[in-house]
Chain A
């Protein structure tokens, strides 16, 4: 299989990937008293209150498909080999304004084309699972009711 891109991790995002490697889906949240705003993508300070204090709050890993696309070539070779794969945008049940891009798969380790595009539906409930992508553990998504 040709290579897929791996996340280009920055200082702000590093904890997300460290938690993912442990099988946890965590989101950055403000640690200031009385604030607690969850934010994504991660950033140095809280856009609501300006605090630089942050925690990584564990989520249930539950969400719903907010939208999805089915890309067709021309694509980078690793992805062209997986057509018809289908990036999904998952709205987190714990923080609806946070929508993670990911891939819907039949089970944790299954390839990106393991679910037929016809199975996708906006609003479908999904659950986060974790899989290795080029040496980095990334979240993937499975249907709650396959």
Chain B
């Protein structure tokens, strides 16, 4: 298994053996810390592993509960690895990459990654004018480009102009996510179907993006448990292996305001994808189901291009003909995603990837064996390939 030069392979060396979550709602009464504890304990119970065996934690920024608080509350043992990845929603999958590296290299044995967030009832981060990122604070926000939706809308309009993508393509993304949420009783939008007419007549958030191009605002928490492949075979559920993992911060990238390089429309997905596929035994054409970060609908065509499901400029057209629906070329965000299940900074995409490969999704892709999960495109990002 190990290459001759003594370095360790991550490929299939670890597996996700437990997943857990709280309910999702616009408002939950408990604190983020309490929600985090509930999700972590649920994931450990799902794995059949005692909290005292946990010796590694990984989270990503904008997480308010730190390792000290979480570890002592859930009754973790002595912790020998902990990591917090930057860039909010870009860090979701990197938590798995860091835990996999720690476990594979012998720094820890039982890893927990989690996300707890009260974005439904808590404040919108962009309304805080005192805690701004330095580049936007000086060069973009004073001109009224205030919110992530505005920053992405700027790229989206150019993308539509350059490649002929249309609002119908963005609707295809929103609809696929909503249709899957309509099959998922845990989804915020479970009982709320979406029509093209609703989409086309909804209010604008930042033209060319309308209400339904934007993710939900949700309270909730999720967690998963990672162990070595050898141990995973003795756990309660079918192991879901981390086949490949990558982070991506492209040369001359500027975050969500990626306006100062030769090719602003080729973002972190391209960088993460090159590394992800280089390590993998299979390619994009072999992916059975995808969970792609969807804070905004235009991130899907961009990610489809970045991760190699189609060529440059073809991401809009890829969504045609039900390609993202069950039975299509690439079933997408099968629990409803951030657009229609819950927006918990992408962690619900990881747990849904695990359910697909266990065969327990509410929108199961028959016989799914491989799943791509991505973190936020448009910021320094990360992605994993899961297999069973």
Answer yes or no: B142 CB below 8 A from chain A CBs: yes
CA distance A98 to B258 in the complex (A): 10
Which of A7, A75, A117, A133 is the one whose CB lies under 8 Å from B139?
A7
Are A101 and B145 CB-contacts (below 8 A) given A7-B139, A67-B158? yes
CB interface residues, A 85-132, toward B, < 8 Å: 85, 87, 89, 97-103, 112, 117, 122
Answer yes or no: A8 CB below 8 A from chain B CBs: yes
* Interfacial chain A residues near B134, Cβ < 8 Å: 8, 10
CA distance A9 to B127 in the complex (A): 19
CA distance A39 to B154 in the complex (A): 21
Minimum CB–CB distance from B206 to chain A (whole Å) comes to 5
Chain A binder among B38-46, B101-109, B259-267 = B259-267
* Interfacial chain B residues near A47, Cβ < 8 Å: 252
Cβ contact within 8 Å between A5 and B142: yes
The residue in chain B whose Cβ has the minimal distance to the Cβ of A76 is: B146
Cβ contact within 8 Å between B138 and A101: no
* Interfacial chain B residues near A75, Cβ < 8 Å: 144, 146-147
Cβ contact within 8 Å between A112 and B144: yes
CA distance A85 to B150 in the complex (A): 12
A: number of interface residues (CB 8 Å): 39
Are A8 and B206 CB-contacts (below 8 A) given A66-B158, A76-B127, A85-B144? no
* Interfacial chain B residues near A72, Cβ < 8 Å: 203-207
* Interfacial chain B residues near A39, Cβ < 8 Å: 260
Cβ contact within 8 Å between A89 and B142: no
* Interfacial chain B residues near A4, Cβ < 8 Å: 142, 144
Answer yes or no: B31 CB below 8 A from chain A CBs: no
CA distance A7 to B145 in the complex (A): 12
* Interfacial chain B residues near A102, Cβ < 8 Å: 143
Answer yes or no: B201 CB below 8 A from chain A CBs: no
Answer yes or no: A61 CB below 8 A from chain B CBs: no
CA distance A31 to B129 in the complex (A): 35
CB interface residues, B 236-290, toward A, < 8 Å: 252, 254, 257, 259-262, 264
CB interface residues, A 1-30, toward B, < 8 Å: 4-10, 13
Minimum CB–CB distance from B141 to chain A (whole Å) comes to 5
The 0/1 profile, CB within 8 Å of A marked 1, for residues 126-162 of chain B is 0101001011011111111111011001110110010
The 0/1 profile, CB within 8 Å of B marked 1, for residues 49-82 of chain A is 0000000000000000011111110111001001
Are A7 and B137 CB-contacts (below 8 A) given A72-B204, A103-B143, A122-B161? yes
Cβ contact within 8 Å between B206 and A71: yes
Are A138 and B204 CB-contacts (below 8 A) given A67-B161, A97-B260, A101-B259? no
CA distance A11 to B289 in the complex (A): 47
Cβ contact within 8 Å between B157 and A87: no
CA distance A99 to B258 in the complex (A): 10
* Interfacial chain A residues near B161, Cβ < 8 Å: 67, 122
Minimum CB–CB distance from A86 to chain B (whole Å) comes to 8
CA distance A6 to B137 in the complex (A): 8
CA distance A41 to B257 in the complex (A): 11
* Interfacial chain A residues near B207, Cβ < 8 Å: 69-72, 117
CA distance A99 to B263 in the complex (A): 11
Cβ contact within 8 Å between B138 and A41: yes
14 contacts between A and B (CB under 8 A): A4-B142, A4-B144, A7-B142, A69-B150, A69-B206, A69-B208, A70-B204, A71-B147, A71-B207, A72-B206, A76-B129, A76-B146, A87-B154, A101-B143
B residues engaging A (CB < 8 A)? Answer: 124, 127, 129, 132, 134-135, 137-147, 149-150, 153-155, 157-158, 161, 203-208, 252, 254, 257, 259-262, 264
A-B pairs, top 4 by smallest CB distance, nearest first, are: A8-B137, A70-B207, A67-B158, A69-B153
